[in-house]
């Protein structure tokens, strides 16, 4: 029996064509195609007066976003333990301290009331995750940030294309960052980007992205190098190459199609599972949600048995996440109570979701879950 993977990238002949065209240009590093990808991201997100800086991963996007926002040694950044460890590592890379907060039981995003209890004079920023593409409590996050003078760096790695109040995430707010890793809705094999509203911070991000070298971005965007340059700040080697960007360009052209196909699968799952006692479906009808994963909650300690049942039917699953406060390296980081996180991480189960799922795949997943609870 053909197994159904949890993730599968959607790479078609269009992507191959973009890739070979980019190779033919002969300028493989960061260049005009990187710029084109940034422009297409800006157009897709509907940005006005906001700017995109593409990077080689989402983790590096967050790292330089923190540095551009002035976060460094002595500062604390609040994020959730229920998140991928990339965020916590990037905060440490910036020299700041990780403070972990619990989540809400509904959207599995940050619990703002609990976050407020963690704020100290050292708290400089908050990094809320839009889990599974579903917006977190944005109003609460920005209210808290305003009250305590915090920067907000939204982790929209799961939510490229998600809307809030009719506007796409990234088109408003403080700083938003995305990942285009191999399994995301839109991939550039590996990649990410930062969206900011300040042209000064864009300049900083450009320097931080490429070893602190001035002029490099403007010249490289023309597929050439600046041979007369100065170094103005700290910097990393986080640029996105033309080759990776060409994959991103091919993918973003089809983003609306990818999102619609995923929404369709998510709706079929939720329709099939809503009536089952013993599970909780995501709290959305997926309108305006760009779903990276479909996260079903399996109650009453039955998740492992369901995983085994699905495995026998050739259905692969994932678990997002192991909470970061349980990892040895972060076990001593400051945190609040983790009552909801500790329960939810026993329940979450990521079901197969990608843009190439055939109706019989969806049916096999649905039947697999239903037969377990029958
Ligand atoms: C929630 C979350 N944050 C951060 C990241 C890091 O992104 P990247 O893998 O592109 O560095 C990912 C992707 O793995 C993610 O899913």
pLDDT > 90? residue 215? no
Question: Quick one: average pLDDT of 310-321?
Answer: 98
| C-alpha span between 61 and 349 (Å, rounded) | 28
Q: How much is the mean pLDDT over the chain? A: 97
Question: Quick one: average pLDDT of 309-319?
Answer: 98
State whether the Cα torsion 126-187-243-34 is positive or negative. negative
Model confidence at 193, pLDDT cuts 50, 70, 90, reads very high
Predicted pLDDT of residue 120: 98
| C-alpha span between 280 and 273 (Å, rounded) | 8
Predicted pLDDT of residue 139: 98
Total-model pTM: 0.98
Residue given tokens 């002949």 in the structure block: 13
Predicted pLDDT of residue 184: 97
Mutate to test the pocket of ligand 1, among 85, 181, 189, 194 (most ligand atoms within 8 A of CB): 181
Predicted pLDDT of residue 177: 99
Ligand 1 centroid from CA 157, angstroms: 6
Question: Which pLDDT tens digit goes with each residue over 3-44?
Answer: 999 999 999 999 999 999 999 999 999 999 999 999 999 999
Residue 57's contacts (CB-CB under 8 Å, 6 or more residues apart) are: 86, 179, 181, 190, 191, 192, 238
Ligand 1 centroid from CA 54, angstroms: 14
pLDDT > 90? residue 115? yes
User: DSSP characters for 305-370?
Assistant: HHHHHHHHTTB--B-----GGGSGGGTTSEE---HHHHHHHHHEEEEP--TT--HHHHHHHHHHHH
Residue 192 near residue 60, CB atoms below 8 Å: yes
| C-alpha span between 58 and 287 (Å, rounded) | 25
pLDDT > 90? residue 239? yes
* Vertex 28: Cα angle to 25 and 34 (nearest 5): 90
Model confidence at 105, pLDDT cuts 50, 70, 90, reads very high
Predicted pLDDT of residue 201: 97
Instruction: Map residue 214 onto helix, strand or coil.
Output: coil
What is the torsion angle, in degrees rounded to the nearest 10, for the CA atoms of residue 201, residue 204, residue 208 and residue 212? 180
Instruction: Map residue 153 onto helix, strand or coil.
Output: strand
Predicted pLDDT of residue 80: 98
The closest-lying atom of ligand 1 relative to the alpha carbon of residue 191 is 10
The closest-lying atom of ligand 1 relative to the alpha carbon of residue 59 is 11
Q: How far apart are the first and last CA of the chain?
A: 23
Ligand 1 centroid from CA 374, angstroms: 36
pLDDT > 90? residue 217? no
As beta bridge partners, residue 195 has 52, 176
Predicted pLDDT of residue 226: 85
Cα 120 to chain centroid distance, Å, stands at: 27
Ligand 1 centroid from CA 83, angstroms: 9
Residues at CB less than 6 angstroms from ligand 1: 57-59, 83-84, 86-87, 129, 155, 157-158, 179, 181, 192
Model confidence at 216, pLDDT cuts 50, 70, 90, reads confident
- Which residue CA neighbors atom 7 of ligand 1 most closely? 58
């Amino acid at each position: 029996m053909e197994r159904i993977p949890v993730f599968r990238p959607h790479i078609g002949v269009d992507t191959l064509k973009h890739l070979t065209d980019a190779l033919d240009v002969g300028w493989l590093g960061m260049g005009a195609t990187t710029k084109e990808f940034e422009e297409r991201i800006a157009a897709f997100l509907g940005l006005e007066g906001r700017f995109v800086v593409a990077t080689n991963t989402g983790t590096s996007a967050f790292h330089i976003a923190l540095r551009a926002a002035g976060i460094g040694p002595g500062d604390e950044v609040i994020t959730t333990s229920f998140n991928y460890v990339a965020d916590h590592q990037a905060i440490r890379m910036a020299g700041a301290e990780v403070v972990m907060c619990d989540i809400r039981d509904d959207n599995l995003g940050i619990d703002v009331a609990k976050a407020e209890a963690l704020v100290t004079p050292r708290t400089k920023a908050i990094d809320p995750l839009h889990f599974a593409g579903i917006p977190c409590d944005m109003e609460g996050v920005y209210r808290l940030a305003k009250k305590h003078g915090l920067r907000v760096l939204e982790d929209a790695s799961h939510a490229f294309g998600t809307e809030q109040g009719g506007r796409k995430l990234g088109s408003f707010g403080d700083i938003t960052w995305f990942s285009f890793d191999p399994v995301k809705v839109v991939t550039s094999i590996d990649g990410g980007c930062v969206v900011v509203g300040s042209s000064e911070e864009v300049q900083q991000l450009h320097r931080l992205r490429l070893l602190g070298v001035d002029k490099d971005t403007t010249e490289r965007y023309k597929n050439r190098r600046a041979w007369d340059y100065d170094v103005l700040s700290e910097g990393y080697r986080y640029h996105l190459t033309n080759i990776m960007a060409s994959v991103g360009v091919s993918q973003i052209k089809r983003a609306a199609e990818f999102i619609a196909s995923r929404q369709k699968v998510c709706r079929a799952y939720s329709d099939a599972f809503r009536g089952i006692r013993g599970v909780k479906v995501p709290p959305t009808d997926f309108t305006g949600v760009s779903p990276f994963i479909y996260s079903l909650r399996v109650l009453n300690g039955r998740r492992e048995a369901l995983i085994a049942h699905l495995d026998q039917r050739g259905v692969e699953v994932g678990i997002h996440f192991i909470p970061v406060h349980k990892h040895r390296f972060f076990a001593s980081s400051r945190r609040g109570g983790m009552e909801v996180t500790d329960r939810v991480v026993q329940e979450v189960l990521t079901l197969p979701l990608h843009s190439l799922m055939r109706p019989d795949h969806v049916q096999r997943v649905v039947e697999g879950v239903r037969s377990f609870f029958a």
